[in-house]
Structure 1
Amino acid sequence: METMLSYVDQYGYIVLFIALMLELIALPIPGEILMSYAGYLVFQGHMNWVLCILAAALGSSVGMTIAYGIGYKLGHPFIEKHGHRFHMGPDRLNRISQWFTNHGNKMLIFGFFIPGVRHITGYFSGVTRLPIKVYMIYAYTGAFVWTAIFISIGKLLGPQWDQFHTSIKKYLIIGVLLAAVIFIMIYVYRKNKQKIKSWLIYFIKNMMEKRKRKAKLFIVFSMFVTLALISLMMGLIQDFLGNEFADFNEITILLIDSIFEGKWISAVSAFELAISNPTLICIASLTFLWIVWRGRERLYEIVFLFIAGIGGEVYEEGLRALFQKIAPKMSSSFPGEQTLLATVIYGFCLYLFVLHLRNHWIRIGAMVVVVIILFFSGSAQIYIENEWPSDVAAGYVFGGVWLGLNILLLEILRLSKFLKDNS
């Protein structure tokens, strides 16, 4: 490894090009470490960031093209002759080829981030005769994204690139696997669309009234989201009590400090103000006026606005006191106070705003604005060292649980009232 890194020091872009090309042909070369080290050299000013990405992406693309060519040359005759050795007969190959033709292009992008997978997708694309134009678009795009991310990580981490390389790689793989799971779920849905539709029709066959149908489906959706957040919350509690946030906190702080670099102080101050207590009180007050003006069941909505806001404060203080009692040596700001309250107040406001508006684009715009405010406000809390990254993440999740429970109960009350009034 030291020899390989010294070659990057001496020959720079050429070594980066050749190494990435050879890795994608399936030679055992640690391309991700080389790219992170190249990013570190960019940090030092010894290499150019754009040229590094271009050299690495071009080398990866050439390697993927060679792998495709070899696979294309071997083709089906090779599988028919030798496939029995690795349980790949002609029938199975045809089924996989059909799947790969329809969906393998996405795997070309995801696969770059999964060790072992990126080394075979090129060959398999050639064997299955994936159209070369489709292959080039997705393979080259994946190569560019993959190389740009790892080189940029090395640049952002600077001297600590080798310390956190493994941890960041782990988080990237987890993210890619989650994306792959989502892709598989979409694929399963499309494959079984009619069965799922039949099940849904059976499920809602007694929901003839439009409002009642929407309410029940929204309750089911809210329940699933809230349960997912509760599950995530349990995982965060386990990690907190096990003191497993050290790497996550250090990496996140390092990345945020590198991104902002003191140039966005005014923006940081604005986002910090956006989740301050006076601002949250103003948002809650405006939401109260919105309910009075546009609310459907005003009493219910006003009551739950107060429960969400005031109860959220009690909920947050109770959680922090509980964790301090259980683990007094751990962070005293877990979960993050301001991010939790901001998630609850902004989330409940958004819920009512979207509920009472019919314009699709305004709804989407409001959602985007709230997500931006919450994300960058949390980043600001980390940048000014008010809260640890793990506290901010927990604030989002714990706040989401409280918000989900309030929305779920409110919708159940709405539905109960509707059924009672129409019985």
Structure 2
Amino acid sequence: MSEFFVMVLESLAEMGYLGIALGLMIEIIPSELVLGYGGYLVSIGKIQFAGALAAGVAGGTMAQLFLYWAGYFGGRPFLLKYGKYILIKEKHLDIASQWFEEYGAGVIFSARFVPVVRHAISIPAGMAKMPVLKFTSYTIAAIIPWTIFFLMLGKVLGEGWMDIKQRMSPYIPHFVIAAGFVLIMYFVWKIKKAPPIVTVKKWSGK
């Protein structure tokens, strides 16, 4: 890990729970590193797990709401111009937009566990004017398990938290499979919820 990232994380650590939330909001450092460091701070007793979880969910949600509003008000031209400053490239936006068009609102939850699109998926949701309450609900539902996982992993790793990106690699396929399962269940629920198609027989006059 670069010395810059370590310096930023150590500075954020001085702010405790607020530092975790800010670290996730500003999007300078990948969320797994911020949360992994938060787990390390839990392991040495500097902060409590419950507080770190609350800060992680709050900061992660605010970061996604920022991207949602950027898509809502700025649209694709704005993101193409300024996306590089928040580590979102055009190819990320293309994939996220395609996923949102194909799978609908349910992908807001499932895509949170998939690399490349997990952050960018908020942008097409904003561009499509998805209801903000629905967007926020799906986002929080996904951020909670993501935050718990990396806080726990950082806590277990302790001083080895800097290796968290390498340690998480074996778990990524499981996240993707679980996300796909949730997406399938969402489609099943949508189909069952849809009103039945009523066929009206044309009157013959007899």
Match of 2:44 in 1: 44
Does residue 1:18 correspond to 2:22, yes or no? yes
Cα deviation digits, residues 79-127 of structure 1 (max 9, x gap): 9xxxxxx79xxxxx7x8665443xx33x323333333212211111101
Change (3 A) 1:98 1:75: same
Residue aligning to 1:111: 111
One-letter amino acid matched to 2:172? I
Q: Structure 2: which amino acid aligns with 1:113? A: F
Q: 3-state SS of the aligned residue for 2:59?
A: helix
CA distance in 2, matches of 1:174, 1:40: 24
Letter paired with 1:56:
G
> 1:78: how far off?
7.6
Residue 185 of structure 1 and its aligned partner are, at CA, apart by 6.3
- Shift, 1:174, TM fit: 0.9
* 1:194-250 deviation digits (Å, cap 9, x = unpaired): xxxxxxxxxxxxxxxxxxxxxxxxxxxxxxxxxxxxxxxxxxxxxxxxxxxxxxxxx
Distance 2:64 2:49 in 1: 22
Runs of at least 5 residues in structure 2 that lack an aligned partner in the other structure: 80-89, 92-96, 190-206
1:137 and 1:15 mapped to 2: Cα distance?
24
TM-score norm. by structure 1 comes to 0.36
Deviation at 1:4, TM superposition (A): 1.7
Partner of 1:201: none
Q: Which residue of structure 2 lines up, in the alignment, with residue 161 of structure 1?
A: 161
Which whole-Å deviations, capped at 9, do the CAs of 1:167-215 have from their partners, x for residues lacking one?
432123111222244456668999xxxxxxxxxxxxxxxxxxxxxxxxx
Q: Is the 8 A contact 1:110 1:176 kept in 2?
A: no
Q: What CA distance in whole angstroms lies between the structure 1 residues aligned with 2:144 and 2:120?
A: 18
Instruction: Give me the identity figure in percent.
Output: 25
Counterpart Cα distance in 1 of 2:68 and 2:119: 11
The 1-side partners of 2:186 and 2:46 are apart by 45
2:70/2:78 contact within 8 Å kept: no
What SS does structure 2 have at the residue aligned with 1:119?
coil
Q: Does residue 1:171 correspond to 2:160, yes or no?
A: no
Task: Say which SS state the counterpart of residue 47 (structure 2) adopts.
Answer: coil
Letter in 2 for 1:9: A
Partner of 2:195: none
**Aligned in 2, Cα 1:187/1:49: closer, same or farther, shift over 3 Å?**
closer
Change (3 A) 1:125 1:17: same
Q: Relative contact order (alpha carbons < 8 A, sep ≥ 6): 1 or 2 greater?
A: 2
Q: In the aligned structure 1, how far is the partner of 2:175 from the partner of 2:49?
A: 24
Matches within 5 A, 1:312-327: none
Say how many residue pairs are matched.
171
* CA shift in 2, pair 1:150/1:96, >3 Å: closer
State whether residues 113 and 172 of structure 1, in contact with CA within 8 Å, keep that contact through their aligned partners in structure 2. no
Higher helix share: 1
Tell me if the contact between 1:97 and 1:128 (Cα under 8 Å) persists in the aligned partners.
Answer: no
Give a deviation string over 1:127-147, Cα, whole Å, max 9, x none. 112222211111112122211
* TM-aligned CA deviation for residue 43 of structure 1: 0.8
Structure 1, unmatched stretches of 5+, are: 80-85, 88-92, 191-423
Once residues 118 and 146 of structure 1 are traced to their aligned partners in structure 2, the CA distance between those partners, rounded to angstroms, is 11
Q: Equivalents in 2 of 1:117, 1:108: separation in Å?
A: 10
C-alpha spacing 1:41/1:134, structure 2 compared with 1 (3 Å):
same
Query: Match for residue 60 of structure 1?
Result: 60
Partner Cα separation in structure 2 for residue 160 and residue 177 of structure 1 = 25
Aligned to 2:140: 140
Cα distance change, pair 47–77 in 1 and its aligned pair in 2 (3 A): closer
Contact 1:100 1:125 in 2 (8 A): no
The structure-2 alpha-carbon separation of the partners of 1:38 and 1:128, relative to structure 1 and needing over 3 Å to count, comes to same
**Aligned counterparts, 1:295-334, within 5 A:** none
Is the Cα–Cα contact under 8 Å of residues 43 and 155 in structure 1 kept in the other structure? Answer: yes
Contact 2:13 2:19 (8 Å CA) reproduced: no
State the AA in 2 paired with 1:149.
F
Q: Which residue of 2 aligns with 1:129?
A: 129
Deviation at 1:57, TM superposition (A): 1.0
What SS does structure 2 have at the residue aligned with 1:55?
A: helix
1:36 maps to amino acid: G
Moved over 6 A (4+): 76-79, 184-190
